[in-house]
Chain A
Amino acid sequence: MDHFARLGLPAALDLEPASLDRAYFALQRQWHPDRFVAKPAAERARASAEAAALNDAYRTLKDPLSRAVYLAELKGVEMPGDGKTIDDPELLMEAMEAREELHDAGSTQAVDALAAKVRADMKASLSGLGSLFLAGDKPAIRKALLRLRYLDKFAEEARARRMNLERSTA
């Protein structure tokens, strides 16, 4: 069963956070281990397996990027897993230059400006995914998601860089 089906939700890119939360918490109550303490071992095991699968589904679907990657994989888009490398020069050059810029940013203001630009870029790219999924354009979906992964990593590094700068000026 895929994560969407497990939560009784349509397999879609856009998901209302409130309906995801509702579906998750209702099912989480249904399979809560506390309700199975007096039940036979087989049922207890089933409940804890269901609860774990629910957590996994919720974690994957809650974040828009991880949800998009998951949905793409369901649709047969092959994403490079752990330890797999890519050599797309355009994408990697962009990522490299962005990281150099971040590395050179000497103030929290400079880091914030870069981070804001990347957040806007991510938002636009995520909303642009819809039409790619509609068209079923797998190479374009893959490329957009790989780029988003790098933008996401940049945002993470920008937060770390900001903390370092704050610490050194404090």
Chain B
Amino acid sequence: MAYSEKLIDHYENPRNIGSLDKNSEDVGTGLVGAPACGDVMKLQIKVGADGLIEDAKFKTFGCGSAIASSSLVTEWVKGKTIDEAETIKNTDIAKHLALPPVKIHCSVLAEDAIKAAIADYRAKTKKAE
């Protein structure tokens, strides 16, 4: 199977691997999994006082497409508001990386992970109010 250059680049040089402090008030953590293939993905965002996402990190145990999808999402969300980040669609990820049809579910995982991270951040800020 031929993979796109962008996919291979994200897989071989993943951006933003790592962790942020999940207990911090300005960090939202999304943890999602795809049990059918045993993948697990953690995606975190750190939101600045101006409401923009200033940092994003991920850790993914899964196939190359899952790693590339989460790497791409962390790159995309930086500098965006959470409302903007929430509009990222798995189809955009799949298109950008030219994921083969059997790997589309990896982009679904990444979309669900960013949504979960945003939901976690919102729940935290709501509690703090």
Binding site for B on A (CB under 8 A): 79-89, 91-93, 95-96, 99-100, 103, 146, 149-150, 152-154, 156-157
Tell me the smallest distance from the CB of B100 to a CB of chain A, in Å.
13
B49 on interface, CB distance cutoff 8 Å: no
Bound-complex Cα distance A89 to B38 (A): 15
Contacts A83-B104, A87-B112; A96 near B34 (Cβ below 8 A)? no
Nearest to B39 among chain A residues (CB) is A153
Contacts A83-B108, A85-B108; A92 near B36 (Cβ below 8 A)? no
Residues of A contacting B32 with CB < 8 Å?
A: 85-87, 92
Tell me the smallest distance from the CB of A71 to a CB of chain B, in Å.
17
- Which of B37, B61, B112 contacts A99 (CB under 8 A)? B61
Contacts A96-B59, A96-B61; A87 near B31 (Cβ below 8 A)? yes
**Interface of A, helix, strand, loop or mixed by DSSP:** helix
Nearest to A86 among chain B residues (CB) is B33
A to B CB contacts below 8 Å, 16 in the list: A80-B34, A82-B36, A82-B105, A84-B36, A85-B32, A85-B109, A87-B33, A87-B116, A92-B31, A92-B32, A95-B61, A96-B40, A96-B59, A146-B35, A150-B38, A153-B38
Residues of A contacting B35 with CB < 8 Å?
A: 79-80, 84, 86, 146, 149-150
Nearest to B103 among chain A residues (CB) is A83
Q: Are A95 and B40 in contact (CB under 8 A)?
A: yes
Bound-complex Cα distance A83 to B35 (A): 9
- Tell me how many residue pairs across A and B have CB atoms closer than 8 Å: 66
Residues of B contacting A83 with CB < 8 Å?
A: 34, 36, 104-105, 108
Q: Are B61 and A81 in contact (CB under 8 A)?
A: no
Bound-complex Cα distance A153 to B40 (A): 11
- B1-47 residues at the A interface, CB under 8 angstroms: 30-38, 40, 42
The 0/1 profile, CB within 8 Å of A marked 1, for residues 73-114 of chain B is 000000000000000000000000000000011001100100
Nearest to B31 among chain A residues (CB) is A92
Residues of B contacting A84 with CB < 8 Å?
A: 34-36
Q: Are A85 and B112 in contact (CB under 8 A)?
A: yes
In addition to A92-B32, A150-B38, 14 A-B residue pairs with Cβ atoms within 8 Å of each other are: A80-B34, A85-B32, A85-B112, A86-B35, A87-B112, A87-B116, A93-B31, A95-B33, A96-B31, A149-B35, A149-B38, A152-B38, A156-B38, A157-B61
Bound-complex Cα distance A65 to B67 (A): 27
Contacts A87-B116, A96-B42, A96-B59; A150 near B33 (Cβ below 8 A)? yes
